[in-house]
Amino acid sequence: MPSLNQQIKSYIALEAARLMVEHGIQSYYHAKTKAAAILKVSDHRNLPTNLEIAQATQSYLGIFKFEMQAKTLREKYQATLRIMDFFSAFNPRLTGDILQGIVSKYSDIYIHVFADSENDIALFLTESYIDFKLESKTFSFTTGESKSFPVFQIIIKNLIIKLVVFPTLGIRFSPLSPIDKKPMKRAKYKEVERLFKSYTQK
Protein backbone atom coordinates (compact mmCIF):
# COMPACT_ATOMS: atom_id res chain seq x y z
CA MET A 1 0.00 0.00 0.00
CA PRO A 2 1.42 3.43 -0.95
CA SER A 3 2.62 5.63 1.90
CA LEU A 4 0.75 8.83 2.75
CA ASN A 5 3.49 10.92 1.14
CA GLN A 6 3.28 8.87 -2.05
CA GLN A 7 -0.50 9.25 -2.12
CA ILE A 8 -0.15 13.02 -1.74
CA LYS A 9 2.40 13.06 -4.56
CA SER A 10 -0.02 11.13 -6.77
CA TYR A 11 -2.87 13.55 -6.03
CA ILE A 12 -0.66 16.53 -6.84
CA ALA A 13 0.60 14.88 -10.04
CA LEU A 14 -2.95 14.20 -11.24
CA GLU A 15 -4.08 17.75 -10.43
CA ALA A 16 -0.99 19.15 -12.18
CA ALA A 17 -1.83 16.98 -15.20
CA ARG A 18 -5.38 18.36 -15.22
CA LEU A 19 -4.07 21.93 -15.09
CA MET A 20 -1.71 21.29 -17.99
CA VAL A 21 -4.37 19.64 -20.16
CA GLU A 22 -7.37 21.83 -19.31
CA HIS A 23 -5.70 25.20 -18.71
CA GLY A 24 -2.65 25.08 -20.95
CA ILE A 25 0.02 25.38 -18.26
CA GLN A 26 3.24 24.20 -19.90
CA SER A 27 5.72 24.58 -17.06
CA TYR A 28 5.93 21.45 -14.92
CA TYR A 29 7.09 23.50 -11.93
CA HIS A 30 4.23 25.99 -12.27
CA ALA A 31 1.71 23.16 -12.66
CA LYS A 32 2.90 21.22 -9.61
CA THR A 33 3.14 24.26 -7.30
CA LYS A 34 -0.31 25.46 -8.36
CA ALA A 35 -1.70 21.95 -7.88
CA ALA A 36 -0.18 21.82 -4.39
CA ALA A 37 -1.78 25.17 -3.55
CA ILE A 38 -5.19 23.98 -4.79
CA LEU A 39 -4.88 20.82 -2.67
CA LYS A 40 -3.59 22.89 0.27
CA VAL A 41 -0.30 21.00 0.48
CA SER A 42 2.32 23.34 1.91
CA ASP A 43 5.19 20.85 2.26
CA HIS A 44 6.93 21.00 -1.12
CA ARG A 45 8.93 17.89 -0.27
CA ASN A 46 5.81 16.06 -1.44
CA LEU A 47 5.93 17.57 -4.92
CA PRO A 48 6.02 14.96 -7.70
CA THR A 49 8.83 14.79 -10.22
CA ASN A 50 8.34 16.00 -13.79
CA LEU A 51 8.35 12.37 -14.91
CA GLU A 52 5.52 11.53 -12.48
CA ILE A 53 3.50 14.46 -13.83
CA ALA A 54 4.16 13.40 -17.43
CA GLN A 55 2.95 9.88 -16.60
CA ALA A 56 -0.14 11.30 -14.86
CA THR A 57 -0.81 13.51 -17.89
CA GLN A 58 -0.65 10.51 -20.19
CA SER A 59 -3.11 8.65 -17.95
CA TYR A 60 -5.43 11.68 -17.73
CA LEU A 61 -5.49 12.07 -21.50
CA GLY A 62 -6.09 8.36 -22.01
CA ILE A 63 -9.04 8.33 -19.60
CA PHE A 64 -10.74 11.69 -20.14
CA LYS A 65 -9.55 12.88 -23.56
CA PHE A 66 -8.97 9.72 -25.58
CA GLU A 67 -10.80 10.73 -28.78
CA MET A 68 -9.65 14.34 -28.56
CA GLN A 69 -6.04 13.27 -28.05
CA ALA A 70 -6.00 11.05 -31.15
CA LYS A 71 -7.53 13.84 -33.27
CA THR A 72 -5.14 16.44 -31.86
CA LEU A 73 -2.12 14.21 -32.47
CA ARG A 74 -3.14 13.67 -36.09
CA GLU A 75 -3.49 17.42 -36.61
CA LYS A 76 -0.22 18.26 -34.83
CA TYR A 77 1.76 15.59 -36.70
CA GLN A 78 0.32 16.75 -40.03
CA ALA A 79 1.22 20.36 -39.26
CA THR A 80 4.68 19.29 -38.09
CA LEU A 81 5.36 17.51 -41.37
CA ARG A 82 4.55 20.67 -43.32
CA ILE A 83 6.78 22.75 -41.06
CA MET A 84 9.66 20.27 -41.25
CA ASP A 85 9.38 20.20 -45.03
CA PHE A 86 9.45 24.01 -45.13
CA PHE A 87 12.57 24.13 -42.91
CA SER A 88 14.23 21.11 -44.53
CA ALA A 89 17.43 23.07 -45.21
CA PHE A 90 18.02 23.23 -41.45
CA ASN A 91 17.72 19.49 -40.67
CA PRO A 92 14.59 19.86 -38.50
CA ARG A 93 13.88 17.38 -35.70
CA LEU A 94 10.61 17.13 -33.78
CA THR A 95 11.00 16.90 -30.02
CA GLY A 96 9.03 17.47 -26.83
CA ASP A 97 5.61 16.33 -25.66
CA ILE A 98 4.12 15.90 -29.12
CA LEU A 99 6.80 13.38 -30.05
CA GLN A 100 6.03 11.52 -26.80
CA GLY A 101 2.31 11.51 -27.62
CA ILE A 102 1.49 13.66 -24.59
CA VAL A 103 -0.57 16.34 -26.26
CA SER A 104 -3.50 18.65 -25.63
CA LYS A 105 -4.97 21.46 -27.69
CA TYR A 106 -2.57 23.82 -25.89
CA SER A 107 0.62 21.91 -26.77
CA ASP A 108 3.20 23.89 -28.71
CA ILE A 109 5.21 22.24 -31.48
CA TYR A 110 8.92 22.15 -30.60
CA ILE A 111 11.36 21.65 -33.45
CA HIS A 112 15.14 21.68 -33.22
CA VAL A 113 16.86 23.23 -36.24
CA PHE A 114 20.57 23.49 -36.98
CA ALA A 115 22.40 26.42 -38.55
CA ASP A 116 25.75 28.21 -38.52
CA SER A 117 24.03 31.24 -37.00
CA GLU A 118 20.62 32.23 -35.67
CA ASN A 119 20.76 34.96 -38.32
CA ASP A 120 20.31 32.25 -40.96
CA ILE A 121 16.93 31.40 -39.46
CA ALA A 122 15.97 35.05 -38.99
CA LEU A 123 16.82 35.81 -42.63
CA PHE A 124 14.92 32.76 -43.88
CA LEU A 125 11.81 33.76 -41.93
CA THR A 126 12.07 37.39 -43.00
CA GLU A 127 12.45 36.49 -46.67
CA SER A 128 9.46 34.16 -46.32
CA TYR A 129 7.39 37.02 -44.81
CA ILE A 130 6.84 35.09 -41.59
CA ASP A 131 6.58 37.14 -38.40
CA PHE A 132 8.46 35.78 -35.42
CA LYS A 133 9.27 36.48 -31.80
CA LEU A 134 12.79 35.76 -30.60
CA GLU A 135 13.22 34.15 -27.19
CA SER A 136 15.86 31.96 -25.56
CA LYS A 137 15.85 28.71 -23.65
CA THR A 138 18.51 27.12 -21.45
CA PHE A 139 19.36 23.45 -21.85
CA SER A 140 21.57 21.12 -19.84
CA PHE A 141 23.84 18.47 -21.34
CA THR A 142 25.44 15.21 -20.23
CA THR A 143 28.72 17.10 -19.84
CA GLY A 144 27.19 18.96 -16.90
CA GLU A 145 27.18 22.32 -18.64
CA SER A 146 24.13 24.45 -19.40
CA LYS A 147 23.77 26.70 -22.42
CA SER A 148 21.18 29.15 -23.70
CA PHE A 149 19.93 28.85 -27.29
CA PRO A 150 17.76 31.15 -29.42
CA VAL A 151 14.13 30.16 -29.94
CA PHE A 152 12.06 31.56 -32.81
CA GLN A 153 8.35 31.48 -32.05
CA ILE A 154 6.06 31.59 -35.05
CA ILE A 155 2.30 31.17 -35.32
CA ILE A 156 0.75 29.43 -38.30
CA LYS A 157 -3.00 28.81 -38.41
CA ASN A 158 -3.31 29.24 -34.63
CA LEU A 159 -0.52 26.74 -33.99
CA ILE A 160 2.46 27.91 -31.95
CA ILE A 161 5.74 26.56 -33.32
CA LYS A 162 8.98 27.00 -31.42
CA LEU A 163 12.16 26.60 -33.44
CA VAL A 164 15.15 26.04 -31.17
CA VAL A 165 18.37 26.88 -33.02
CA PHE A 166 21.46 24.77 -32.34
CA PRO A 167 24.86 24.97 -34.07
CA THR A 168 25.25 22.72 -37.09
CA LEU A 169 27.30 20.20 -35.10
CA GLY A 170 24.70 20.30 -32.32
CA ILE A 171 22.77 17.65 -34.20
CA ARG A 172 25.16 15.12 -32.63
CA PHE A 173 24.48 16.17 -29.04
CA SER A 174 20.94 16.19 -27.75
CA PRO A 175 20.22 18.24 -24.60
CA LEU A 176 18.72 16.63 -21.53
CA SER A 177 14.97 16.28 -21.22
CA PRO A 178 13.38 18.24 -18.35
CA ILE A 179 11.20 15.19 -17.72
CA ASP A 180 13.62 12.30 -17.18
CA LYS A 181 17.02 14.06 -17.42
CA LYS A 182 18.04 11.80 -20.31
CA PRO A 183 19.09 13.04 -23.77
CA MET A 184 16.00 14.31 -25.59
CA LYS A 185 14.54 12.17 -28.31
CA ARG A 186 14.60 13.85 -31.71
CA ALA A 187 12.58 12.62 -34.67
CA LYS A 188 13.40 13.06 -38.35
CA TYR A 189 10.74 13.71 -40.99
CA LYS A 190 10.32 10.00 -41.82
CA GLU A 191 9.64 9.09 -38.20
CA VAL A 192 7.05 11.85 -37.82
CA GLU A 193 5.47 10.70 -41.07
CA ARG A 194 5.24 7.17 -39.66
CA LEU A 195 3.59 8.51 -36.48
CA PHE A 196 1.11 10.53 -38.53
CA LYS A 197 0.18 7.50 -40.63
CA SER A 198 -0.28 5.36 -37.51
CA TYR A 199 -2.88 7.80 -36.16
CA THR A 200 -4.50 8.31 -39.56
CA GLN A 201 -5.19 4.57 -39.76
CA LYS A 202 -6.93 4.47 -36.35
51 plus 98 within the same structural domain: no
CATH number of the domain within which 148 lies? 3.30.460.10
Host domain of residue 147: 67-200
pLDDT at 112: 98
HEC-encoded secondary structure of the chain: CCCHHHHHHHHHHHHHHHHHHHHCCCCHHHHHHHHHHHCCCCCHHHCCCHHHHHHHHHHHHHHHCHHHHHHHHHHHHHHHHHHHHHCHHHCCEEECHHHHCCCCCCCCEEEEEECCCHHHHHHHHHHCCCCCEEEEEEEECCCCCEEEEEEEEEEECCEEEEEEEECHHHHHCCCECCCCCCECCCECHHHHHHHHHHHHCC
* pLDDT at residue 4 greater than cutoff 70: no
Please check whether residues 118 and 161 belong to one and the same domain: yes
**Count: domains in the chain:** 2
Residues 118 and 192 in one domain: yes
* Residue that is last in its domain, among 64, 79, 111: 64
Residue 85 sits in the same domain as residue 176: yes
pLDDT of residue 201: 60
Give tens-digit pLDDT for 23-36: 878 888 998 899 88
Last residue in a domain, options 26, 43, 64: 64
Same domain, 110 and 42: no
- The span from the CA of 162 to the CA of 139, in Å, is 15
Both 83 and 40 in one domain: the answer is no
The dihedral region occupied by 108, where left means phi > 0, alpha psi between -120 and 50, and beta the remainder, is: beta
Same domain, residue pair 101 and 46: no
Q: How confident is the model at residue 117 (pLDDT cuts 50, 70, 90)?
A: very high
41 shares its domain with 125: no
Q: Is the pLDDT of residue 202 over 60?
A: no
> pLDDT tens digit string along 162-174?
999 999 999 999 9
Q: What is the pLDDT of residues 33-85, one digit of tens each?
A: 998 889 888 877 778 888 898 888 888 777 766 677 778 888 889 999 999 99
Task: Give pLDDT tens digits for 127-157.
Answer: 999 999 999 999 999 999 999 999 999 998 8
Q: Clarify whether residues 117 and 73 are in a common domain.
A: yes
